[in-house]
Amino acid sequence: MSLKKDDANRWMSEEDESCIQAMLFVSTNVYHTTLNTAVELNLFEIIARAGPGAYVSPFHGLLSYSLRTLEDGRVDRLYGLTPASKFYLRSDDGSCLASIMTLFSHRAITEVRSHLKDAILEGGDQFQKVHGMSMFEYMDKDPTLNKAFNEAMAGRSTIIMKKLVETYQGFEGLASLVDVGGGTGASLNMIISKYPSIKGINFDLPHVVQNAPTYRGIEHVGGSMLVSIPKADAIMIKNVCHNWSDEHCLKILSNCYESLPKNGKVIVIDIIMAEAPELSMGSQYVARIDNSMLLLHGSKERTAREFEALCKGSGFSDFRVVCYVYSFVSAVMEFHK
């Protein structure tokens, strides 16, 4: 029997580790509820304002703590932020993951969660089956879900894009760029801020762009990516493909192909799933998002080979994985015409 040490320097067997891993998986729902409650109570902001040594109730994993012995002999725990919990703070630039918890806790989404078995056995869009319309159609009719979704995507995108614009050099030399499914334009604005000579077109559904703020160098255009896409030197699609089936992705990418000039490219920013299951934190995150996509859209995350098949199937001649941002969380791929 092989042994190894855990984080507390205790010896544990492979069976011990497997059992703990299994218990971690079954407790995910409780963890989600606890984390969402912490967000609703503004717990992370309160601790950040209070500074080191603030006292709160236990919330292991996202908070650090130290022990303090009181004069009467009792022991208190003093909690502070960890590197992970700082991603839940609302920063001036809008980067924040707390809004994702608000989105996943929205009534319209929680009502779909119990249908995961149906999604696995029957396939299809479970949101559509529960609510009688797709999630994006529902957002058009429910301002609260529309707001939660846009804030969640903007908060996550800002975190990713801050790192991406420093890592990826493929925007250099472009005269124009369309962001397909660009939401309210936050991601495109970060690109144009670094490359002001680029003419930016933020393209999304009409009810999304109608509430978009004004950005210098960016034109907001409403429409459907399933019908047609504005023309530009390059087209960016960020976290779009995992919302759609292969059939829909081929349609969207074919529309991109038609809108690009000779030697143009599509910049695809999305999760790349590992070929085989892994137990790393990145792979666990990808697996959970994969389940969410299956449940909410009847879609999936994809491996590099699956993305290459979409690339070639929609007419593009060359597929490249250029770089990664936060490991599996976001990969930058290029589809060349």
Q: Which residues are catalytic?
A: 242
Structure tokens at 101: 């918890």
Whole-number Å distance between alpha carbons of 305 and 61: 35
Question: 162 phi and psi, to 5 degrees?
Answer: -60, -40
Handedness of CA 195, 196, 198, 199 (dihedral sign): positive
Whole-number Å distance between alpha carbons of 20 and 12: 10
Give yes or no for a contact between 223 and 202, defined as CB atoms under 8 angstroms apart.
no
Structure tokens at 144: 């609260």
Structure tokens at 147: 């707001």
Whole-number Å distance between alpha carbons of 278 and 78: 35
Contacts of 193 (CB under 8 A, 6+ apart): none
Between the CA atoms of 138, 142, 145 and 148, what dihedral angle is there, to the nearest 10 degrees?
140
Q: Tell me how far CA of residue 52 lies from CA of 41, 46, 65, 69, 77, in angstroms.
A: 19, 11, 10, 16, 12
Contacts of 162 (CB under 8 A, 6+ apart): 93, 95, 190
- For Cα atoms 267, 145, 114, give the angle at the middle one, nearest 5 degrees: 95
Whole-number Å distance between alpha carbons of 218 and 14: 54
CB neighbours (10 Å) of residue 129? 14
Residue with tokens 């703070």: 89
DSSP conformation class of 114? G
